[in-house]
Amino acid sequence: MRITIWAAAVAAGLLLTGCAAAPDTAGGSVAAGARTAARASLPDDIRRAGVLVVGSDLSFAPMEFVKDGKQTGFDVELAAAIASRLGLKAEVRQTPWPELLGKVEAGDLDAAMASITDKAERQKSVDFVDYLNVGSVVVTRGGQGGDGIEALCGRRVALPAGTLYVDLAEAQNKRCPAGEKMTIIAVPTLTGSKEMVLAGKADAYLDDFPPAAVSVRENPSLAISGRQIEAAPYGIAIAKDRSGLRQAVQLALYELFDDGTYDKLLDKWQISEGSLKTGAINGGA
């Protein structure tokens, strides 16, 4: 994803689960046979239930968050659109970030959509259907100088455990000069890193560009340092033993590419430059 200006805003909420309605879009350009093939691939238990249970950490605007008590964001609406193409409703279930992939692997969730970067290490436990291309950025308290990930040397950096940001920071820390190593502060949630910096308990954090741009817009004391780092695909996580579901989701996603629904959602959430229409399985490195 390239740098864009975001207008979305975060609002606090306590909703834990809910059935999301699909966007009002027609699938006129998609052959009926393609839709039939997607639904035919569904596992019987999901077809009988009529619900696709999708885990998400709803704290990552503009991708997935709660506003005025309602689940919203690009991932939430895309999940609803995918479910609709499969003749299902999407139940987006609030799930803490560290638990998402484990719950998918255990079968507690049908899938997870939570701005999850598809990378080789994660592919050992789940499969991914790729749908967006996003890079990370460094966010600092404004006026502290520096440029990009190199600006982290010698600073206190707040990072949520188990994320790609930890890998990026640790790799850079090895390149920092002796005596200028960063202090990495582990935080439990995706929003905790920003809160640490705003409170003056950390100097910087890493975030994906979309939510980082929202945070900077809402908090004049924050600033994005440098360009995006290592853009990579976001993927829909699905258990490895659910190949039928994986195929159904991939085919439904192809329908959304074809009929324009995907592009409309990109435009709505101002992320068109992150378009990724491969629908690749485990396309991340």
Per-residue pLDDT, 2: 26
Cα-to-chain-centroid distance, residue 225: 21
Per-residue pLDDT, 46: 97
Angle, in degrees to the nearest 10, between helices 243-259 and 261-268: 80
**For the whole model, what pTM was predicted?**
0.73
Work out the pLDDT band at 29, boundaries 50, 70, 90: very low
Q: How far is Cα 96 from Cα 179, in angstroms, rounded to an integer?
A: 36
Per-residue pLDDT, 162: 86
Q: How far is Cα 236 from Cα 52, in angstroms, rounded to an integer?
A: 13
Contact 182, 149 (CB under 8 A): no
* DSSP string for residues in 69-128: TEEESHHHHHHHHHHHHTT-EEEEEE--GGGHHHHHHHTSSSEE-SS-B--TTGGGTEEE
Cα-to-chain-centroid distance, residue 4: 17
Q: Per-residue pLDDT tens for 191-215?
A: 899 999 999 999 999 998 888 888 8
SS3 content of the chain, % helix, strand, coil (to 5): 35, 25, 35
Contact 87, 22 (CB under 8 A): no
Q: Per-residue pLDDT tens for 52-98?
A: 999 999 988 889 999 999 999 999 999 999 999 999 999 999 999 99
Q: How far is Cα 22 from Cα 60, in angstroms, rounded to an integer?
A: 20
Q: Which two three-digit tokens encode residue 76?
A: 């939430």
Per-residue pLDDT, 90: 98
- More confident: 32 or 106: 106
Q: Per-residue pLDDT tens for 121-168?
A: 999 999 999 999 999 999 998 766 568 899 899 999 999 988 889 999
- More confident: 179 or 143: 179
